[in-house]
Amino acid sequence: MLHLLNPAQRAAVQYLDGPCLVLAGAGSGKTRVITQKIAYLIEKASMDARNIAAITFTNKAAREMSERVGHLMSADRLRGLTVSTFHSLGMRIMREEARHVGYKTQFSILDSADAAKIISDSLGTTDKQLIRSTVSRISMMKNDRISPDKAILQADSEGELHLARIYRVYQDTLQAYQAVDFDDLIRLPVDLFEQNEEVLKKWQHRLRYLLIDEYQDTNLTQYQMVKLLTDITGQFTAVGDDDQSIYAWRGADMENLRKLQSDFPKLQVIKLEQNYRSVARILKCANAVISNNPKLFEKTLWSDLGVGDPIQVIECKSDEHEAELVAMKLLAHKFETGADYKDYAILYRGNHQARIIETALRTHKIPYLISGGQSFFDRAEIKDILSYLRLIANENDDPAFIRAVTTPKRGVGNVTLERLGAYAADRQISLYQAVYEEGFIWQVQGTQYEPLKTFCDFIGRMQFRAPREPAGELLKELLDAIDYETWLYDSDEPKPAESKWKNVLELVQWVTRQGEEKQRSLIEVSQTIALITMLEGRDEEEVDAIKMSTLHASKGLEYPHVFLIGCEEDILPHANSIETGMVEEERRLMYVGITRAQRTLTITYCGKRKRAGEWQITEPSRFLKELPADDIRVSGRLNGGKAEQAISKSEGRAMLAGLLAKLG
């Protein structure tokens, strides 16, 4: 086992005398240290897997880590091992301890759309920008552990006071719905740990060794969770890279790396210097770019995987041309080298850049998977069904109630719903509860009341059965009962309706598997889904397809060949970041992008780009000028040359058709 590691990695794995921080650049094997250390703790230190928790940043990373550890030892010895994100760990704690923080076990988890709706209602506005900034400021306060009360006390301007009051209303609403948002999943357990010694002890006893990946992106609350859990023993290993901190907008704080050193004076810091991922040229480019940021820690990184090809930097005429060019270069490269589709990734700053690439890939029949984009669980038809599951889990979840009671339409008019809302608000009860109250029943006509009551009775019956019956079967029955398929076809064209129904069936399959393999009840499944939606998609089967991903979602991953597109001012670095002076974070994002590549890297940018229907002249990203001239091959303005000769669409198609024929 230990022979798979270099001496520094081995030292990190074997160190058990106290807290340990592995601080090192991209691709240096930090994540490998974590997987190996899990195996080491069980095999050599005779720890019970149940007492070990590895925390990763995304669900995907968690899955991958479980898999990797699974290769190292038998499933038997791994039983009970926790490999999860901070949020799923928080959810697990909440499920067990909900009553201590004023929630029932079957609380709901609100998604960001529902959260935005509550904020929008309390602000009395539909101004998206305002809603978004309010949501994020509240989230920041939560992550900084500022309660509504404290926010109100601290406010020193009219604006801040207003914000603090909105925060208070928002929090009260969540409580009334018996719902939590993503931030609460970590904040509430931390509050609880601080207030309740007994509960804290229980969890400290249970999770005796913590391993944390991507430590640079933890926020204050997450840090405090680690600190509380490891308080006595200080038994943890954190790994991270300050140059890859890219979640400041979500409250992540690189300073947590430094704080670790002051909070744990006995902290053992181990640095890794060999990169096992990328050829030297790619690494040199990455190092060159990041050297323009001020340094928090001194680090060096080298690789002996060969020099590699120069990094290609290509100017394209327009975004359409860029998409076409990437598709073409990719196919040509695949033809030359015999690589698989899955060896390629196309990375970009924002989701909106994906659409045009998708079109080009689809035209040329190149299979692709998108991660970090609109998730499966964000589709309207899926959210419809999930609203039922949420309501079954928690009848006080009002946003879910509204969605479910109106989808499919069941003869409950808007006026009735408004009356129900007013009645419930007046008495501080949920919509579901209000349906059964005399006071409300008197207010509505029988024809309006009947469908409401039928609906609530149905939910009630499902609630009773959910903990007892197989999740998949029950979901099928639910779909039959609400006749969702018919409704889809009635309310949409046949083609989209068919594809929506297919998605629903896929959900049924997924839920069935969750029920069978993980013994999850319908209620537990619905809570699990809420978490999946937060960061990325669900399990994807291993298929031969190229990966499209935002830079954020590509963290920790690696691909033989990477295309990094849209390297222009205002995109990377993002316009907002330029305005607010956050260019350093964007540079780290660029660093993350470059360091995903193992063997080849192609960077593209456009001369002009269509925005809101208008052509705009664009400038190459400032980061491109930071690349070392000797290691890149440029075509375009960057070195005063011309943009890559644009290929007309028909020429392109003909060339590709030829290539595809050869590829078989």
- Residues annotated catalytic, as ranges: 30-31, 213-214, 244, 596
Per-residue interface string for the shown chain with ligand ATP, residues 594-633, x marking contact by CB under 6 A: -x--------------------------------------
CB-wise, 399 or 556, nearer to Mg ion? 556
- C-alpha gyration radius of the chain: 26
The span of 1-9, 200-208, 302-310, 506-514 binding ligand ATP (CB under 6 A) equals 1-9
The residue with its CB nearest to Mg ion is: 31
Closest by CA to 65, choosing from 24, 28, 32, 25, is 32
To ligand ATP, the closest distance from the beta carbon of 88 in angstroms equals: 20
Whether residue 226 contacts residue 190, with contact meaning beta carbons closer than 8 Å, is answered with no
Residue 256-285 contact track with Mg ion, rule CB under 5 A, x = bound = ------------------------------
Using CB under 6 A, which of the segments 5-13, 187-195, 434-442, 534-542 binds ligand ATP?
Answer: 5-13
Q: Does 6 bind ligand ATP (CB under 6 A)?
A: yes
What is the closest distance, in whole angstroms, from the C-beta atom of residue 15 to ligand ATP in the complex? 16
CB 623 within 8 A of CB 567: yes
Residues near 96 by beta carbon (within 8 Å), at least 6 away in sequence: none
The answer to whether 581 is annotated as binding is no
Give, in order, the Cα–Cα distances in Å from 222 to each of 9, 248, 255, 297, 309.
Answer: 25, 13, 13, 22, 41
- 276 vs 376 by CB, closer to Mg ion: 276
Q: Which two tokens stand for residue 203?
A: 């969890």
- Name which of 142 and 555 has its Cβ closer to ligand ATP: 555
In the bound state with Mg ion, the residue whose beta carbon lies nearer, of 514 and 598, is: 598
Rounded distance between C-alpha atoms, residue 418 and residue 647, angstroms: 58
Largest CA distance in the chain: 81
Q: Does 573 bind Mg ion (CB under 5 A)?
A: no
User: DSSP assignment, residue 310?
Assistant: P
- In angstroms, what is the minimal distance from the CB of 241 to ligand ATP? 5
Residue with tokens 């005063």: 640
**Site of tokens 């940018």:** 605
Q: Nearest to ligand ATP by Cβ — which residue?
A: 29
Q: Comparing C-alpha atoms, which of 131, 49, 114 is closest to residue 82?
A: 49
Q: Which of residues 16-35 bind ligand ATP (CB under 6 A)?
A: 26-32
Closest contact distance (angstroms) between CB of 61 and Mg ion is: 8
**End-to-end distance of the chain based on CA atoms, in angstroms?**
41
Binding letters toward ligand ATP, positions 224-263, x by CB under 6 A = -----------------x--x-------------------
Q: Is 276 in the site for ligand ATP (CB under 6 A)?
A: yes
Q: Which amino acid is at 155?
A: A
Q: Is 25 known to sit in a ligand binding site?
A: yes
Q: How far is it, in rounded angstroms, from Cα 623 to Cα 295? A: 17
5 contact choice in Mg ion, ligand ATP, none (CB below 5 to 8 Å, kind-dependent): ligand ATP
User: Which residue in this structure is represented by tokens 């609530």?
Assistant: 456
Among candidate residues 646, 595, 613, 615, the one with its CA nearest the CA of residue 282: 595
Site for Mg ion in 602-661 (CB under 5 A): none
Is 30 assigned to a binding site? yes
In the shown chain, the binding pattern of residues 314 to 343 toward Mg ion, with x for contact by CB under 5 A and - for none, equals: ------------------------------
Closest to 566 (Cα-Cα) out of 412, 296, 346: 346
Residues 518-547 that bind ligand ATP (CB under 6 A): none
Q: Is 29 annotated as a binding residue?
A: yes
Rounded-to-10 torsion of CA 47, 53, 54, 58: 160
Select from 28-36, 412-420, 563-571, 590-598 the region that touches Mg ion (CB under 5 A). Answer: 28-36
Residue 31 makes contact with Mg ion by CB under 5 A: yes
Q: Which does 36 bind (CB under 5 to 8 A by kind): ligand ATP, Mg ion, none?
A: none
Q: Is 589 in the site for ligand ATP (CB under 6 A)?
A: no
Among 33, 19, 41, which residue's Cα sits nearest to residue 269?
Answer: 19
- Identity of the residue, 25 or 556, whose beta carbon is nearer to Mg ion in the bound complex: 556
552 binds, among Mg ion, ligand ATP, none (CB under 5 to 8 A by kind): none
> How would DSSP label each residue in 125-178?
---HHHHHHHHHHHHHHHHTT--HHHHHHH--SHHHHHHHHHHHHHHHHHHHHT
Among 372, 472, 515, 556, binds ligand ATP (CB under 6 A): 556
Binding-residue total with ligand ATP (CB under 6 A): 18
Q: Give the Cα separation of 631 and 201 in Å (integer).
A: 55
Q: Residue 482 corresponds to which tokens in the numbers above?
A: 């609400």
425 binds, among Mg ion, ligand ATP, none (CB under 5 to 8 A by kind): none
Two tokens, residue 644: 């890559």
Buried b (16+ CB within 10 A) or exposed e, 372-390: bbebbbebebbbbbbbbbb
Enter the DSSP assignment of 596: T
Residues numbered 531-570 forming contacts with Mg ion, rule: CB under 5 A: 556
Choice between 301 and 325, CB closer to ligand ATP: 301
549 contact choice in Mg ion, ligand ATP, none (CB below 5 to 8 Å, kind-dependent): none
Q: Which C-beta is closer to Mg ion: that of 64 or that of 540? A: 64
Phi and psi angles of residue 157, each rounded to the nearest 5 degrees, phi first: -150, 165
Q: Name the minimum Å distance from CB 555 to Mg ion.
A: 8
Task: Give me the residues that bind ligand ATP (CB under 6 A), please.
Answer: 4-6, 9, 26-32, 241, 244, 276-277, 556, 558, 595
Binding region? 24-31, 277
Task: Give me the residues that bind Mg ion (CB under 5 A), please.
Answer: 30-31, 556
Binding region for ATP? 24-31, 277
